[in-house]
Amino acid sequence: MTTKQHKLIIISAPSGAGKTTIVKHLLQVFPQFGFSVSATSRKIREGEKNGREYYFVSTDEFEFMITNGKLLEWQEVYPGSYYGTQVSEVERIAANGQMPVFDVDVVGGLNIKRMYGKNALAIFIKPPSYETLETRLRSRATDTEESLQKRLLKAKWELTFEKEFDVVVVNDRLDEAFDQAVKLVHDFIG
């Protein structure tokens, strides 16, 4: 596993706040970063590719990784849907001479921050309002109404954690959020 001396970037947010879009932008700006692909037991969605967005594994495989200490962090985000970061993924990025960038849920982000302390920059991406977040999630049209309500309930809870992050970026205008995230990361890595 990478040593605690390596710097890393954690981007966390409720679903629909724009964290993945901001992570993709940071990866374009900073070639020294390596994207940490999370593992999940949820079903693959149309357009996703195993090993690109996530490593898609069965619930049994995920529980095996938990039991055998193969995860840096993990969480059962929704009943039966696990998400986590494999230790091997962080090792892969370090072996390539890169710094890890994590696109993780709020609890996972805080867990990684606790492990790496001052060597991790934890950025919370916040929507301008809860209503904007709901509009964004509805416009995706990837969830049933029941699934959407679960996401919204979880998002409301996740928004209460923003003060535990190093910094908050409000994603109201994407270009401004990009600029702010780039400056924060640039200042952090030196």
pLDDT at 139: 81
Closest CA to 101 of 163, 176, 26, 40: 26
Instruction: State the DSSP H helix or E strand holding residue 34, giving kind and residue range, or none if neither.
Output: strand 33-36
- The answer to whether residue 95 sits within a structural domain is yes
- The answer to whether residue 102 sits within a structural domain is yes
- The answer to whether residue 3 sits within a structural domain is no
Return the residue matching tokens 């890393």.
8
Tally DSSP H helices, then E strands, for the chain: 7, 9
- The answer to whether residue 1 sits within a structural domain is no
Cβ atoms 124, 167 nearer than 8 A: yes
pLDDT at 78: 75
According to DSSP, the β-strands at 71-78 and 81-86 are antiparallel
Q: Which domain holds residue 57?
A: 8-189
The total number of structural domains in the chain stands at 1
- The answer to whether residue 150 sits within a structural domain is yes
- The answer to whether residue 2 sits within a structural domain is no
- Cβ-proximal residues to 94 (8 Å cutoff; 6+ apart), any chain: 1, 2, 6, 100
- Return d(Cα 166, Cα 188) in angstroms, integer: 11
Mind listing the pLDDT tens digit of every residue in the chain (190 residues)? 444 567 999 999 988 888 999 999 999 999 999 999 999 999 898 899 999 989 999 999 999 999 999 999 998 877 788 999 999 998 999 999 999 999 998 999 999 999 999 999 999 999 988 888 888 777 876 667 887 788 788 889 999 999 999 999 999 999 999 999 999 999 999 8
The enclosing domain of 101 has a CATH number of 3.40.50.300
Question: What's the distance, CA 109 to chain centroid?
Answer: 7
Task: Give Cα separations from 72 to 37, 69, 93, 109, 183 (angstroms).
Answer: 12, 8, 14, 11, 27
Burial class (CB in 10 A: 0-12, 13-18, 19+), 170: middle
- The answer to whether residue 66 sits within a structural domain is yes
- Return d(Cα 33, Cα 35) in angstroms, integer: 7
- The answer to whether residue 145 sits within a structural domain is yes
> Does the predicted TM-score (pTM) go above 0.85?
yes
